């Protein structure tokens, strides 16, 4: 693959007993680009995400992240989940919403800056006495949080409990929170699920903004084909755990194997199938 690839997934295989959820999948994600991972339900997309973020340890395969800033190389499949975020700076969101429902929106975003603040608080003691260095760090964190609150249109909810937010806002909160982790790769698992068309439109804009203004790569799982086709630079198609196609939106749209996979599948993917054809 290209030498400048940010993320390289090689021969990734994940078995659960006799079930092979992901079968020898290889792909790469370029620096500063939006890549989409699509496929019918049960194709293994979320399993790939779980391997990337340390939720699962893959049965076979190598996942390499070349950090653009530190020039360091991380083997994600060997790292604990919190290290993947803290050191390799790969961050994900979930298909089902996973905010901290009893914390305010602002505090949700502060948790994402935990490591930075923990260091600044000198293992909590400086934080307790309110040392200037800690206050300064905290003010900077609040500023960063407020930047993303504004970008995601959550300003009016900043002090509300996250659990009380409307659905679409909770989805955007998850993205804002992931961005507060200062990622180099942002993995979004079905961010448009349950959103109405205008919310989906806003989401596409947000994802584009993240790439264009922050030069962060995005890896996207999504069933909303119009969104995927509109926003992605590159698409990887999975079916039954195997990669069946990849390329630009145009190439993938016209790939016979992809059309076959979607049209030949059960009724749960009707929406997606309609969108591709």
Residues that bind other proteins (CB under 8 A): 53, 55, 80-82, 85-86, 91-92, 94, 98, 100-103, 107, 110-112, 114-115, 117-118, 120-121, 123-124, 127-128, 177, 181
182 closest CA partner among 145, 132, 153: 145
- Angle, helices 197-214 vs 167-180, to 10°: value is 10
Nearest of 190, 189, 193, 155 to residue 173 by alpha carbon? 155
- Beta carbon nearer to other proteins, 30 or 97: 97
Closest distance to other proteins from the beta carbon of 229 (Å): 28
Longest dimension (CA), the chain: 65
Q: Is the Cβ of residue 98 or residue 215 nearer to other proteins in the bound state? A: 98
183 or 241: whose CB is closer to other proteins? Answer: 183
- Distances in Å between the alpha carbon of 175 and those of 70, 82, 123, 124, 180? 24, 18, 28, 28, 9
Closer residue to other proteins in complex, CB, 20/103: 103
CB of residue 71 to other proteins, shortest distance in Å:
21
* CB atoms closer than 10 angstroms to residue 264: 11
CB 124 to other proteins: min, Å:
5
The CB-of-94 to other proteins minimum distance in angstroms stands at 8
Torsion of CA 254, 2, 32, 175, to 10 degrees: 70
CA distances to 189, 236, 258 from 266, rounded to whole Å, are 21, 21, 14
* Closest CB 155 distance from other proteins, rounded Å: 21
Q: Which residue, among 115, 85, 86, has the nearest Cα to 187 in the 3D structure?
A: 85
Q: By C-beta, is 24 or 107 nearer to other proteins?
A: 107
């Amino acid at each position: 693959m290209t030498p400048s690839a940010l993320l390289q997934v090689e021969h990734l295989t994940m078995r659960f007993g006799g079930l092979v959820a992901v079968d020898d999948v290889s792909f790469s994600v370029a620096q500063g680009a939006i890549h989409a991972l699509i496929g019918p339900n049960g194709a293994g997309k979320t399993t790939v995400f779980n391997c990337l973020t340390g939720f699962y340890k893959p049965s076979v395969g190598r996942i390499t992240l070349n950090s653009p800033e530190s020039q360091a190389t991380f083997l994600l499949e060997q790292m604990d989940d919190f290290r993947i975020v803290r050191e390799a700076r790969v961050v994900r969101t979930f298909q089902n919403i996973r905010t901290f429902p009893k914390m305010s929106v602002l505090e949700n975003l502060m948790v994402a800056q935990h490591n930075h603040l923990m260091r600044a608080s000198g293992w909590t003691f400086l934080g307790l006495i309110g040392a200037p260095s800690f206050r300064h760090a905290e003010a900077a964190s609040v500023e960063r949080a407020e930047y993303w609150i504004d970008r995601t249109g959550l300003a009016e909810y900043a002090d509300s409990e996250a659990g009380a937010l409307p659905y679409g806002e909770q989805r955007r909160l998850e993205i804002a929170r992931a961005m507060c982790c200062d990622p180099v790769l942002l993995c979004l698992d079905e961010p448009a699920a349950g959103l109405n068309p205008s919310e989906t439109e806003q989401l596409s804009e947000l994802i584009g903004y993240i790439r264009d203004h922050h030069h962060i790569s995005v890896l996207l799982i999504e069933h909303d084909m119009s969104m995927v086709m509109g926003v992605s630079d590159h698409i990887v198609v999975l079916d039954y755990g195997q990669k069946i196609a990849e390329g630009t939106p145009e190439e993938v749209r016209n790939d016979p194997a992809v059309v076959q996979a979607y049209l030949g599948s059960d009724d749960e993917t009707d929406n997606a199938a309609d969108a591709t054809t």
